[in-house]
């Protein structure tokens, strides 16, 4: 243990590098123990390693002396582009079509002629084996030897095999027998290791995706690891729950990487919140074609109901809600004469009308240009100038159909777009029983600053934060994440049973061992949870573990009442036990900035919807500065619109703190 601490100590002396691979840019955040540096490279989708190594070179770093935490899209892209490896799916005989049937629902309720979705597997890729475990976990029929021989033969044609049999989370014997029969060299995922929880379709899909992407993740990270010198304990990957795992663990946990990059944004938001003493946050990350929102109540919310490309990925993930609306969303008039925004997007090409690349249809970005929220002399990412005339012409054309002028139409487009964003924020707060008025809005990503204050007002929120490094926020998060493992086990335990607590303790002890195996030799801080429900409920609430049946029942009843407004006089049961283990890891510390004296100098002025407004470069804003709206704050890749009625202050670390005027100092804190 001491040796490990020493290693960790040396790691802080080493350079900490966070690298987030995005679709366009690969972002770097470097922390040398004192200062933080940022860097961007163009991504290299054919081999993301290239951009990473180029960046390391450009930053003048010794690749062999880094502690690197990576947000990777390798698993996600393989799923979205259907480019995983050839995978054999093995399950009980009789339910071979499990993944092809899914939940037997159709995606589109009112479509008479839906296209047939591209199948993940052909019938030949699905193999049934005999044997059965029952609902009590008893092996009621063993796997016939012939079936294992056939499995071995069939598997030879595949690079990966996913095994998911019924009730394997209660008794893994059948899956273990299958694994033992497989030839050497084939990549294997078994469901009781990927996700020891009930519901066969969700578990099977997760196991399948794990096998489908695992070999690609393994090859990619091995290549990167070699380039970094190949020493143990140097290369880490952020997983979907916002923790960090060693690269060597990642291949076997590829399904836990689908949110590897976006998770960084939430981890960074949490770190910023800690710095500001704000625990309750909602994040808002608006891009060109989509917007991500999430909620943190102390810790970020976790979901096990996420879907990627229509497939459930039931491992714990940060609960990030994505909607298909962003700066590039196109505004149009529908059949009944109502103004609509999206889901169609102008994308990067032709892009919004103001790009002057041939886009004729007005987008949210064009509306912002017409309203003066993007100064006409600004250059967009890539150095492109804004063509305000084209934006105005596009809005005027749309307005003619609504009986509104270009400016009124632009306001309308912004309001409808903001309603969609507000809907997303409501989905993660109000719909889950949280009151948004108690939360601060953390805004990062390029387009969000133009709408953050309006959204906050719409939801009754009075505080908005634009953190430092908002343009490379996920990469910053890579350096704020801790080594973390999330393990779980389904076991139905009636709380009233005399042996209930002993049974639960036994399961938790097993989970603790599992976590220790994943992070050997590290001092672990563990938190246990129980998924609980009223007996017969098909749904559960996750409750912090208490080593006392009465206390557990009471906190469950309280949580149920709080979330749903009613309780029941019914017996309570545990359905799944969960354990999160966290190890102390070297983390980034943002330095304080020198305080400013005097007022900041505007770089210019813009004519906005609220009249003439000063424009400030963000780089010159320092702690001590205090601005009142209307004003614009410009960065290379982002613009902040501070409307009338809002004030801006700068935190000691450089975060921009926006609050509604009229709040007293206490409320602003």
Partner 1 sequence: MNAVELSLLAHRLNAVCDEMGAQLRRSALSPNIKDREDFSCALFDAAGELVAQAAHIPVHLGSMTWAMREVAAMLDWRPGDVAVFNDPFLGGTHLPDITVVAPAFADGRLLGFSAARAHHADVGGVSPGSMGLQTRLEDEGVVLPPAHWFRAGREQTETLRPLLERVGAPAERLGDLAAQRAAAATGVARLLELQGETDIRAGMAELLDASEAWGRRAVADIPDGVWRFEDALEDDGLGHGPLPVRVAIAVRGEEAEVDFEGSAPQSPGPVNCPLSVTAAAVFYVFRCLMPAHAPQTSGIFRPVRIRAPEGSLVNARPGAAVAAGNVETSQRIVDAVLGALARAMPERIPAAAQGTMNNVLFSGEAGGARWTYYETLGGGMGAHAGGPGLSAVQCHMTNTRNTSIEVLEMHYPLRVRRYAIREGSGGCGARDGGDGLVREWEALADCRVSLLTERRASRPWGLNGGEDGAAGRNRLKAGAEWRKLPAKGEWDMRAGDVLRVETPGGGGHGDAGEAA
- What is the binding site for partner 1 (CB under 8 A)? 94-98, 100-101, 103-106, 108-116, 123, 134-135, 166-167, 198-201, 333-340, 402-404, 411-412, 415-416, 419-420, 423, 426-427, 430-432, 492, 534, 536-539, 560, 563-566, 568-570
In the complex, least distance from residue 426 CB atom to partner 1, rounded to whole angstroms: 6
Q: Which is nearer to partner 1, 325 or 621 (CB)?
A: 325
Q: Which is nearer to partner 1, 384 or 411 (CB)?
A: 411
Q: Which is nearer to partner 1, 231 or 431 (CB)?
A: 431
In the complex, least distance from residue 565 CB atom to partner 1, rounded to whole angstroms: 4
* Torsional class of 185: left (φ above 0), alpha (ψ -120 to 50), beta (otherwise): left
Instruction: List, in order, residues 6 or more apart from 385 with CB less than 8 Å away.
Output: 356, 377, 379
How many CB atoms within 10 Å of residue 605?
14
Cα–Cα distances in angstroms (integers) from residue 253 to residues 24, 173, 445, 518, in the given order:
26, 21, 28, 11
In the complex, least distance from residue 341 CB atom to partner 1, rounded to whole angstroms: 8
Instruction: List, in order, residues 6 or more apart from 517 with CB less than 8 Å away.
Output: none
Q: Which is nearer to partner 1, 104 or 349 (CB)?
A: 104
In the complex, least distance from residue 56 CB atom to partner 1, rounded to whole angstroms: 45
In the complex, least distance from residue 301 CB atom to partner 1, rounded to whole angstroms: 14
Q: Which is nearer to partner 1, 412 or 586 (CB)?
A: 412
| CA 577 to chain CA centroid, nearest Å | 23
Do the beta carbons of residue 94 and residue 88 sit within 8 Å?
no
Element (H, E) at 201: helix 200-227
* 659 bridge partner residues: 463, 647
Helices (H) and strands (E) in the chain, counts: 18, 37
* 488 bridge partner residues: 578
Q: Which is nearer to partner 1, 200 or 609 (CB)?
A: 200
* Torsional class of 656: left (φ above 0), alpha (ψ -120 to 50), beta (otherwise): beta
In the complex, least distance from residue 564 CB atom to partner 1, rounded to whole angstroms: 3
Q: Which is nearer to partner 1, 179 or 560 (CB)?
A: 560
Place of tokens 């049961």: 573
Q: Which is nearer to partner 1, 181 or 314 (CB)?
A: 314
Q: Which is nearer to partner 1, 569 or 666 (CB)?
A: 569
In the complex, least distance from residue 99 CB atom to partner 1, rounded to whole angstroms: 11
In the complex, least distance from residue 655 CB atom to partner 1, rounded to whole angstroms: 30
- Running DSSP on this structure, what letter comes out for residue 620? G
Instruction: List, in order, residues 6 or more apart from 95 with CB less than 8 Å away.
Output: 128, 166, 200
Do the beta carbons of residue 21 and residue 48 sit within 8 Å?
yes
Q: Which is nearer to partner 1, 218 or 282 (CB)?
A: 282
In the complex, least distance from residue 47 CB atom to partner 1, rounded to whole angstroms: 37
In the complex, least distance from residue 490 CB atom to partner 1, rounded to whole angstroms: 9
Helix/strand/coil for 362: coil
- Running DSSP on this structure, what letter comes out for residue 600? P
Do the beta carbons of residue 163 and residue 126 sit within 8 Å?
no
In the complex, least distance from residue 10 CB atom to partner 1, rounded to whole angstroms: 47
Q: How far apart are CA 5 and CA 9, in angstroms?
A: 6
Q: Which is nearer to partner 1, 91 or 651 (CB)?
A: 91
Q: How far apart are CA 320 and CA 330, in angstroms?
A: 24
Q: How far apart are CA 61 and CA 90, in angstroms?
A: 46
Q: Which is nearer to partner 1, 411 or 596 (CB)?
A: 411
In the complex, least distance from residue 309 CB atom to partner 1, rounded to whole angstroms: 17
Do the beta carbons of residue 206 and residue 315 sit within 8 Å?
yes
Q: Which is nearer to partner 1, 242 or 412 (CB)?
A: 412
In the complex, least distance from residue 200 CB atom to partner 1, rounded to whole angstroms: 5
In the complex, least distance from residue 395 CB atom to partner 1, rounded to whole angstroms: 13
In the complex, least distance from residue 336 CB atom to partner 1, rounded to whole angstroms: 4
Q: How far apart are CA 386 and CA 377, in angstroms?
A: 7
Helix/strand/coil for 446: coil
Q: Which is nearer to partner 1, 133 or 633 (CB)?
A: 133
Q: How far apart are CA 120 and CA 337, in angstroms?
A: 41
Q: Two tokens at 228? A: 């970094």
Q: Which is nearer to partner 1, 121 or 606 (CB)?
A: 121
Q: Two tokens at 221? A: 């990270």
Q: How far apart are CA 658 and CA 282, in angstroms?
A: 14
In the complex, least distance from residue 404 CB atom to partner 1, rounded to whole angstroms: 7
- State residue 516 phi and psi, 5-degree precision: -65, -35
Cα–Cα distances in angstroms (integers) from residue 642 to residues 274, 452, 652, 654, in the given order:
24, 9, 20, 17
Q: By C-alpha distance, which of 248, 154, 172, 168 is closest to 204? A: 168
How many CB atoms within 10 Å of residue 177?
20
Q: How far apart are CA 598 and CA 626, in angstroms?
A: 10
In the complex, least distance from residue 542 CB atom to partner 1, rounded to whole angstroms: 12
Q: Two tokens at 424? A: 């997303």
| CA 238 to chain CA centroid, nearest Å | 10
Q: How far apart are CA 99 and CA 232, in angstroms?
A: 37
- State residue 329 phi and psi, 5-degree precision: -60, 135
Q: How far apart are CA 120 and CA 105, in angstroms?
A: 17
Q: Which is nearer to partner 1, 102 or 602 (CB)?
A: 102
Q: Which is nearer to partner 1, 379 or 401 (CB)?
A: 401
């Amino acid at each position: 243990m001491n040796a490990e601490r020493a290693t960790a100590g040396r790691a802080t002396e080493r350079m900490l590098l966070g690298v987030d691979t995005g679709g366009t840019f690969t972002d770097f955040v470097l922390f040398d123990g004192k200062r933080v540096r940022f860097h961007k490279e163009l991504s290299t989708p054919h081999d993301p390693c290239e951009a990473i190594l180029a960046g390391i070179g450009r930053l003048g770093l010794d690749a062999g002396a880094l502690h690197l935490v990576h947000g990777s899209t390798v698993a996600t892209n393989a799923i979205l582009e259907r480019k995983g490896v050839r995978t054999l799916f093995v399950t009980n005989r009789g339910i071979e079509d499990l993944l092809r049937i899914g939940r037997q629902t159709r995606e589109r309720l009112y479509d008479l002629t839906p296209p047939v979705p591209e199948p993940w597997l052909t019938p030949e890729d699905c193999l049934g084996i005999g044997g059965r475990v029952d609902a009590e976990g008893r092996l009621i029929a063993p796997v016939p030897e012939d079936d294992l021989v056939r499995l071995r033969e069939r598997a030879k044609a595949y690079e990966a095999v996913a095994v998911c049999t019924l009730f394997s989370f209660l008794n893994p014997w059948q899956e273990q027998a299958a694994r033992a029969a497989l030839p050497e060299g084939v990549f294997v995922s078994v469901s009781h290791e990927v996700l020891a929880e009930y519901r066969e379709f969700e578990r099977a899909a997760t196991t399948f995706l794990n096998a489908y992407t695992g070999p690609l993740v393994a090859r990619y990270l091995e290549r990167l690891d070699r380039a970094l010198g190949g020493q143990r304990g140097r290369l880490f990957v952020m997983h979907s729950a916002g923790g960090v795992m060693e690269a060597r663990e990642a291949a076997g946990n590829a399904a836990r990487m689908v949110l590897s990059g976006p998770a960084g944004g939430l981890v960074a938001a949490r770190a910023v919140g800690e710095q500001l003493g704000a625990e309750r946050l909602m994040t808002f990350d608006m891009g060109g074609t989509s917007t991500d929102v999430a909620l943190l109540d102390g810790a970020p919310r976790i979901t096990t109901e996420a879907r990627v490309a229509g497939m459930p990925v039931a491992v714990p993930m940060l609960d990030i809600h994505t909607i298909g609306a962003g700066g590039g969303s196109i505004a149009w008039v529908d059949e009944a004469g109502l103004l609509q925004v999206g889901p169609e997007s102008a994308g990067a090409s032709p892009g919004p009308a103001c790009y002057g690349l041939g886009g004729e249809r007005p987008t949210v970005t064009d509306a912002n240009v017409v309203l003066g929220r993007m100064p006409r002399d600004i250059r967009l990412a890539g150095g492109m100038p804004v063509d305000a005339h084209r934006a105005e012409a596009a809005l005027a054309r749309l307005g003619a159909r609504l009986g509104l002028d270009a400016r009124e139409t632009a306001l309308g487009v912004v309001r409808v777009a903001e309603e969609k964003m507000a809907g997303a924020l409501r989905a993660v707060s109000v719909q889950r029983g949280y009151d948004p008025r108690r939360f601060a809005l953390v805004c990062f990503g390029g387009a969000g600053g133009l709408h953050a204050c309006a959204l906050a007002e719409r939801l009754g929120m009075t505080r908005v934060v634009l953190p430092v490094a908002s343009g490379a926020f996920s990469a910053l998060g890579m350096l704020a994440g801790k080594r973390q493992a999330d393990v779980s086990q389904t076991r139905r335990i009636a709380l009233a049973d005399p042996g209930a607590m002993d049974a639960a303790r036994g399961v938790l002890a097993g989970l603790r061992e599992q976590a220790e195996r994943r992070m050997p030799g590290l001092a672990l801080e563990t938190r246990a949870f129980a998924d609980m429900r009223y007996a017969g409920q098909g749904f559960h609430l996750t409750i912090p573990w208490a080593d006392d049946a009465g206390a557990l029942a009471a906190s469950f009843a309280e949580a149920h009442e709080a979330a749903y407004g009613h309780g029941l006089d019914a017996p309570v049961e545990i359905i799944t036990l969960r354990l999160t283990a966290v190890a102390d890891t070297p983390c980034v510390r943002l330095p304080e900035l020198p305080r400013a004296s005097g007022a900041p100098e505007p770089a210019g002025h813009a004519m906005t919807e609220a009249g003439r407004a000063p424009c400030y470069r963000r780089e010159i804003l320092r702690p001590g500065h205090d601005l009142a709206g209307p004003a614009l704050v410009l960065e290379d890749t982002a613009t902040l619109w501070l409307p009338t009625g809002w004030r801006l202050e700068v935190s000691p670390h450089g975060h921009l703190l926006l609050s509604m005027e009229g709040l007293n100092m206490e409320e602003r804190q």
